[in-house]
C-alpha cells in the first residue's frame, strides 16, 4: 500500500517542477499561474511507498474556481494522507497564508521552501530550524528546478507518513489570532469536536472566515452574536480579523527568522517599466512575435526543413521504394504506400524543424515570465470584450494545440466566461495549421513567408477578440470577471522546461503524422484512385473523391477556389489539420513541384484558402475536447456553426477586399 501525498501550494510556486524532480515525470511547467488544471500522480524512484499528486495551485483553501475546487476536494479527502506544502520562498508572505490554513486542517504536512537559488542570489538568509519550531511542522529548503533538496524532502515525507499526527501542533505553541478571536475559535472548535467532526479547528476558523457551519448542530447563533460584537469593537469584519491575524503572525514570524535581501527585486520592475509601458507594450509584443516567426519560418527554419526533407526522401522514400520493387508488389500497393502514405506523412513531417523552432521560442518567452506580461497587457483589450486577461493564457496555449487550451480554460472562475473562451480558442492558430500556411506562403508569397504566417496568426487573434465582442451578449449576459493574474518574476529560462515543452509538442506532431495522418492519407489516395465504379482509375479526375469534391466545391466558389482537390483537402483536415498538407501532396504532388498550385490558386484565392483553413471547425480531437468541456450539446453545435460561418464570411470578405485593392 503506497501512501498518498499531495503537492499543495500557490499557483506558480514550482509544484510541477518539484513534481517532475520528485518523480522523474515530464509534466508541463510554465512561468504563470494556472498551468496545471488537473491532478497528476507519480511515484518517486527510490521511494516506491509514496504516491505523489501534483494539484492545481491555490491561494487559499476557500476555493473560488473549478480547479481550486479540484485541489481543495482532494486535500480534504481521506485519500490524501499527507501534504507537501510547496512555498515560493521569494513570495513567502503570501505563500505562508496557505501554509497556516493547511496547518489548521491538521493534515500531516511538510513545507518545502522552493526557489532557494533565488533567495541565495539575493542574499536572503532564513533560519529554517527556528521557523520549523515556531510553526510546528518540518521545513526544508529546496531548489526544484535544480533538483536540490529532493532526497531529503522525500525522507521527511516518509517520516511524516510513519508518525501520522492528528492534532495540529502549531497552535499549541503559538497563538495566531488576537486573544478574543482565539477564544471564540476555541469555543467553535469544541462544538465541532463534540460531534466528532474531522478538521475541527479548520472548521472553527472557517466559521468565522466564511460564516459556514458545515451543517453541524450547536449554538452557532450565540457565537455569531459574539463574533458580530467583536467585529463591531474592532471595526472590522471577522473574516478580515481572521486573515489579518494570519498576516500579522506571518510578519512576526519572518521578522524572527529572516535576514537580508530585497536589493535585486528591482530587476523585474525595470524590465516591466519598458515591456508593460502604456504605449510601447503592444508594439514590443508584436515585434517579439515577428522575430520569432522570422527565425522559425525565415532562412534558419527553411534551411533545417530542406535538410530534413532531403534526408526523408533519400532514406525513407527511396529505401521503401527499392524494397517494394524488389518484393514485386502490385501497382496499387506500391502507389498506396509510396504516393499515398509515405509521401503524405512525409509532407507533414517535413515541417517538424520549423515547428520545433517556433515552440522553442515560445517556451523561452513563457519560461522567462514575458508571456505573463503579454496576458497582463491584453487584459485592457480583452476586458472590453467581456473576457479577462485570464482568458489570454488558454488562448495563448491555443497556439500550440486547442485541446490542452480548452482544458486550461478551467482556470476561469466564471462559467459564462469559460464558455466564451472555449468557443474562441479554436481561432487561435494551432501548430497543425502551420504546414498549410508554409506550403502556400512559399509558393505564392516567396519573399514574405514569415510575414504572411504572422498575418494569419494575427488575424486569428483579431477574429477571436471580435467574436468575444459579438458573442458577449448571448453568452455572457453582462457578467464580468475579475482579473487577478499576478506578474511572476523574470527568470532565466530553464533548458529542462524548454526541452519538456518542445519534445512534448514534437512527439505529439510526429505521433499524429504516424497515425491519423497515415489513415487519412491512405483514404485520400484510395478515394482519389478508385473510380465511382470502385475500380482503379488512371485519371484522378474520374475518382470518387473528385465526385465528392465537385459536389461541395460550389460553396467555395465565392471564396475564390472551387477546385475539387482543394475542397477535399479541407475536408480531410477535419481529422487533423495536418492532413490538409498530406492530401495536397497526394493530389498535387507538391513536394516535387510546388508551383502546380498556381494552376488552381491565385495569390488572392491562396490567401483566402489560408484564411478559411485558419478559422474553420477544428480537428476531431479539439471538437471532442470542446464537447466534453462545454457540457452542452446545444452550445457545442452553436460553436461549430459559428466557426464555419465565421470562416466562410471572413475568407469571403478578405478575398473580395483584396480583389478591390487589386482592381484599383
Ligand atoms: P506551479 O504552477 O506551481 O506548478 O509552478 P511550475 O512548476 O510550473 O513553475 C513555475 C515557474 O517557476 C517555472 O518557470 C519554473 O521554471 C520556475 N521554478 C520552479 N522551481 C524553481 C526553483 O527552484 N528555482 C527557480 N529559479 N525557478 C523555479
Ligand atoms: Mg503546475
User: How many CA atoms lie less than 13 Å away from 222 in the CB half-sphere?
Assistant: 8
Q: Closest residue (by CA) to atom 19 of ligand 1?
A: 14
Point out the ligand 1 atom lying closest to the alpha carbon of residue 11.
Answer: 2
Cell numbers 479548520: residue:
202
Q: Closest residue (by CA) to atom 21 of ligand 1?
A: 145
Contacts of 142 (CB under 8 A, 6+ apart): 18, 112, 113, 114, 116, 148, 149, 150, 153
State whether residue 265 is helix, strand or coil.
coil
Q: Are 467 and 385 in contact (CB under 8 A)?
A: no
pLDDT of 487-536, one tens digit each?
A: 777 888 888 888 887 888 788 778 877 788 888 888 888 888 888 888 88
Cell numbers 515577428: residue:
290
Q: Closest residue (by CA) to atom 13 of ligand 1?
A: 31
- Cα(12) to centroid(ligand 1), Å: 6
- Cα(13) to centroid(ligand 1), Å: 6
Q: What is the pLDDT of residue 426?
A: 94
Cell of 208: 468565522
Point out the ligand 1 atom lying closest to the alpha carbon of residue 86.
Answer: 3
Q: Closest residue (by CA) to atom 6 of ligand 1?
A: 14
Q: Which residues pair with 181 in a beta bridge?
A: none
| Rounded distance between C-alpha atoms, residue 466 and residue 593, angstroms | 38
Model confidence pTM above 0.75: no
Q: What is the pLDDT of residue 555?
A: 94
Ligand nearest to the CA of 112: 1
**Dihedrals phi, psi of 472, to nearest 5 degrees:** -50, -50
Q: Which residues pair with 521 in a beta bridge?
A: none
Q: Which residues line ligand 1 (CB under 6 A)?
A: 9, 11-17, 29-31, 35-36, 57, 114-115, 117-118, 143-145, 367, 491, 494, 497
| Rounded distance between C-alpha atoms, residue 96 and residue 111, angstroms | 10
Q: Is beta strand 125-126 parallel, antiparallel or unpaired with respect to 258-259?
A: antiparallel
Q: What is the pLDDT of residue 28?
A: 67
Q: Name the DSSP class of 489.
A: P
| Rounded distance between C-alpha atoms, residue 288 and residue 503, angstroms | 23
State whether residue 516 is helix, strand or coil.
helix
| Rounded distance between C-alpha atoms, residue 181 and residue 204, angstroms | 11
Residues, the chain: 664
- What's the count of helices (H) and strands (E) in the chain, helices before strands? 32, 8
Q: Which residues pair with 209 in a beta bridge?
A: none
Ligand nearest to the CA of 499: 1
Pocket test for ligand 1, best of 25, 29, 494 (most atoms within 8 A of CB): 29
Stated as kind and residue range, the H or E segment containing 259 is strand 258-259
- Cα(273) to centroid(ligand 2), Å: 28
Ligand nearest to the CA of 8: 1
Point out the ligand 1 atom lying closest to the alpha carbon of residue 10.
Answer: 3
Show the CA angle centred on residue 458, arms to residues 457 and 459, nearest 5°.
90
- Cα(545) to centroid(ligand 2), Å: 46
Dihedral angle computed from the Cα positions of residues 572, 575, 577 and 579, in that order, rounded to the nearest 10 degrees: -50
| Rounded distance between C-alpha atoms, residue 144 and residue 140, angstroms | 12
pLDDT of 159-190, one tens digit each?
A: 888 876 444 444 444 557 888 898 899 999 99
Contacts of 373 (CB under 8 A, 6+ apart): 272, 275, 276, 281, 487
Which is nearest to 581 in space by CA: 346, 357, 358, 400?
Answer: 346
* 9: exposed, middle or buried (Cβ count in 10 Å: 0-12, 13-18, 19+): buried
Stated as kind and residue range, the H or E segment containing 112 is strand 109-114
Q: Which residues pair with 536 in a beta bridge?
A: 530
| Rounded distance between C-alpha atoms, residue 106 and residue 92, angstroms | 21
Point out the ligand 1 atom lying closest to the alpha carbon of residue 20.
Answer: 7
| Rounded distance between C-alpha atoms, residue 243 and residue 372, angstroms | 27
Query: Which residue positions in the chain have pLDDT lower than 50?
Result: 165-173, 263, 478-483
- Cα(14) to centroid(ligand 1), Å: 4
Q: What is the pLDDT of residue 663?
A: 78
Q: Closest residue (by CA) to atom 14 of ligand 1?
A: 31
| Rounded distance between C-alpha atoms, residue 41 and residue 43, angstroms | 7
Q: Closest residue (by CA) to atom 8 of ligand 1?
A: 29
* 534: exposed, middle or buried (Cβ count in 10 Å: 0-12, 13-18, 19+): exposed
Cell of 333: 500497393
| Rounded distance between C-alpha atoms, residue 641 and residue 616, angstroms | 10
- Cα(97) to centroid(ligand 2), Å: 19
Largest CA distance in the chain: 95
Q: Which residues pair with 112 in a beta bridge?
A: 86, 140
- Cα(39) to centroid(ligand 2), Å: 9
- Cα(552) to centroid(ligand 2), Å: 46
Ligand nearest to the CA of 408: 2
pLDDT of 9-64, one tens digit each?
A: 998 899 999 999 999 877 766 656 556 667 788 999 888 889 999 988 888 898 77
Pocket test for ligand 1, best of 26, 144, 150, 393 (most atoms within 8 A of CB): 144
Q: What is the pLDDT of residue 168?
A: 44
Q: Closest residue (by CA) to atom 12 of ligand 1?
A: 14
Point out the ligand 1 atom lying closest to the alpha carbon of residue 118.
Answer: 26
| Rounded distance between C-alpha atoms, residue 5 and residue 41, angstroms | 9
How many CB atoms sit inside 10 A of residue 41's CB?
15
Which is nearest to 211 in space by CA: 188, 183, 180?
Answer: 188
| Rounded distance between C-alpha atoms, residue 343 and residue 382, angstroms | 43
Point out the ligand 1 atom lying closest to the alpha carbon of residue 54.
Answer: 4
Ligand nearest to the CA of 88: 1
Cell of 608: 483566402
Which is nearest to 184 in space by CA: 208, 168, 167?
Answer: 208
Point out the ligand 1 atom lying closest to the alpha carbon of residue 28.
Answer: 8
Amino acid at each position: 500500500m503506497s501512501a498518498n501525498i499531495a503537492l499543495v501550494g500557490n499557483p506558480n510556486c514550482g509544484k510541477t517542477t518539484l513534481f517532475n524532480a520528485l518523480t522523474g515525470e515530464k509534466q508541463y511547467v510554465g512561468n504563470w499561474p494556472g498551468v496545471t488544471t488537473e491532478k497528476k500522480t507519480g511515484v518517486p524512484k527510490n521511494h516506491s511507498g509514496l504516491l505523489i499528486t501534483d494539484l492545481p495551485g491555490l491561494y487559499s483553501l476557500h476555493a473560488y474556481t473549478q480547479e481550486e475546487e479540484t485541489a481543495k476536494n482532494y486535500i480534504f479527502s481521506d485519500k490524501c494522507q499527507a501534504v507537501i506544502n510547496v512555498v515560493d520562498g521569494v513570495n513567502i508572505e503570501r505563500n505562508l497564508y496557505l501554509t497556516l490554513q493547511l496547518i489548521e486542517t491538521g493534515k500531516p504536512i511538510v513545507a518545502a521552501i522552493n526557489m532557494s537559488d533565488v533567495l541565495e542570489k539575493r542574499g536572503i538568509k532564513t533560519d529554517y530550524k527556528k521557523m520549523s519550531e515556531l510553526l510546528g511542522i518540518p521545513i526544508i529548503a529546496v531548489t526544484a528546478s535544480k533538483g536540490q533538496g529532493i532526497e531529503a524532502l522525500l525522507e521527511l515525507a516518509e517520516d511524516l507518513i510513519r508518525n501520522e499526527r492528528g492534532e495540529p501542533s502549531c497552535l499549541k505553541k503559538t497563538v495566531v489570532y488576537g486573544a478574543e478571536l482565539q477564544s471564540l475559535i476555541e469555543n467553535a472548535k469544541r462544538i465541532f469536536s463534540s460531534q466528532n467532526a474531522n478538521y475541527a479547528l479548520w472548521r472553527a476558523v472557517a466559521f468565522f472566515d466564511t460564516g459556514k457551519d458545515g451543517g453541524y448542530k450547536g449554538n452557532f447563533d450565540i457565537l455569531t452574536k459574539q463574533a458580530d460584537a467583536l467585529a463591531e469593537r474592532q471595526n472590522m469584519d471577522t473574516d478580515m480579523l481572521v486573515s489579518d491575524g494570519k498576516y500579522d503572525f506571518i510578519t512576526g514570524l519572518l521578522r524572527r527568522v529572516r535576514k537580508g535581501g530585497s536589493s535585486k527585486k528591482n530587476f523585474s520592475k525595470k524590465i516591466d517599466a519598458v515591456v508593460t509601458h502604456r504605449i510601447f507594450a503592444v508594439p514590443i509584443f508584436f515585434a517579439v512575435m515577428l522575430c520569432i516567426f522570422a527565425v522559425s519560418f525565415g532562412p534558419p527554419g527553411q534551411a533545417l526543413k530542406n535538410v530534413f526533407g532531403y534526408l526523408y526522401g533519400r532514406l525513407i522514400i527511396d529505401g521503401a521504394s527499392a524494397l517494394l520493387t524488389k518484393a514485386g508488389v502490385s501497382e496499387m500497393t506500391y502507389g498506396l504506400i509510396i504516393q499515398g502514405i509515405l509521401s503524405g506523412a512525409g509532407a507533414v513531417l517535413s515541417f517538424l524543424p520549423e515547428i520545433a523552432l517556433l515552440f522553442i521560442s515560445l517556451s523561452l518567452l513563457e519560461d522567462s515570465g514575458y508571456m505573463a506580461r503579454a496576458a497582463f497587457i491584453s487584459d485592457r483589450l480583452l476586458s472590453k470584450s467581456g473576457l479577462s486577461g485570464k482568458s489570454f493564457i488558454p488562448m495563448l496555449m491555443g497556439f500550440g494545440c486547442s485541446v490542452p487550451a480548452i482544458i486550461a480554460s478551467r482556470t476561469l472562475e466564471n462559467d459564462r466566461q469559460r464558455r466564451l473562451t472555449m468557443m474562441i480558442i479554436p481561432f487561435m492558430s494551432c501548430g497543425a495549421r502551420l504546414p498549410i500556411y508554409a506550403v502556400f506562403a512559399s509558393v505564392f508569397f516567396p519573399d514574405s513567408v514569415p510575414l504572411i504566417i504572422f498575418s494569419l496568426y494575427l488575424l486569428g487573434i483579431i477574429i477571436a477578440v471580435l467574436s468575444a465582442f459579438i458573442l458577449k451578449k448571448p453568452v455572457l449576459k453582462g457578467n464580468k470577471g475579475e482579473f487577478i493574474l499576478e506578474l511572476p518574476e523574470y527568470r532565466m529560462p530553464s533548458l529542462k522546461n524548454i526541452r519538456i515543452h518542445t519534445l512534448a509538442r514534437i512527439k505529439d506532431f510526429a505521433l499524429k503524422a504516424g497515425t491519423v495522418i497515415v489513415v487519412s492519407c491512405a483514404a485520400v489516395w484510395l478515394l482519389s484512385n478508385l473510380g465511382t465504379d470502385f475500380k482503379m482509375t488512371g485519371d484522378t479526375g474520374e475518382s470518387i473523391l473528385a465526385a465528392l469534391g465537385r459536389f461541395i466545391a460550389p460553396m467555395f466558389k465565392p471564396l475564390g477556389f472551387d477546385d475539387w482537390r482543394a475542397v477535399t483537402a479541407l475536408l480531410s483536415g477535419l481529422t487533423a489539420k495536418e492532413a490538409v498538407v498530406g492530401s495536397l501532396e497526394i493530389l498535387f504532388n507538391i513536394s516535387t513541384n510546388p508551383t502546380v498550385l498556381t494552376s488552381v490558386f491565385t495569390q488572392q484565392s491562396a490567401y483566402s484558402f489560408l484564411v478559411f483553413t485558419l478559422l474553420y471547425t477544428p480537428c476531431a480531437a479539439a471538437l471532442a475536447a470542446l464537447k466534453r468541456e462545454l457540457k452542452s450539446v446545444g452550445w457545442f453545435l452553436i460553436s461549430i456553426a459559428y466557426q464555419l460561418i465565421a470562416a466562410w464570411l471572413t475568407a469571403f470578405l478578405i478575398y473580395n477586399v483584396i480583389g478591390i485593392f487589386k482592381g484599383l
